[in-house]
Amino acid sequence: MSGAKTFKISGEIRKSNLLEPIKFTKIIEAEKREHALEKMYADIGSRHKAKRFDIKIFGIEEVSEPGD
């Protein structure tokens, strides 16, 4: 990707059928924060059948390397 940055997004999935929320941290490459959030919502939604209102974002930060 040209001009891609790496973002670290943390949050949790809260669904009514779960006893406790599922916490997650994802590393995503995108050009902008908004694009990274869209990719994260699409990925979490497809993997866990979660709607956007089921996903609570705690933080998003730009990191210099994917392993940081």
Would residue 68 count as lying in a domain?
A: no
> What is the model's pTM?
0.82
Range of the domain at 55: 5-63
Would residue 23 count as lying in a domain?
A: yes
Both tokens of 6, joined, read 């790496």
pLDDT at 65: 65
Residues 33-46: tens digit of each pLDDT: 999 999 999 999 99
Residue whose C-alpha is closest to residue 55's, from 46, 63, 65, 64: 46
Both tokens of 44, joined, read 């979490």
Residue 7, CA distances (Å) to 16, 25, 28 in order: 29, 10, 5
- Has residue 66 got a pLDDT over 70? no
Measured between alpha carbons, how far is 28 from 42 in angstroms, rounded to an integer? 12
User: Domain total for the chain?
Assistant: 1
pLDDT at 67: 52
Q: Which CATH number do you get for residue 24? A: 3.10.20.10
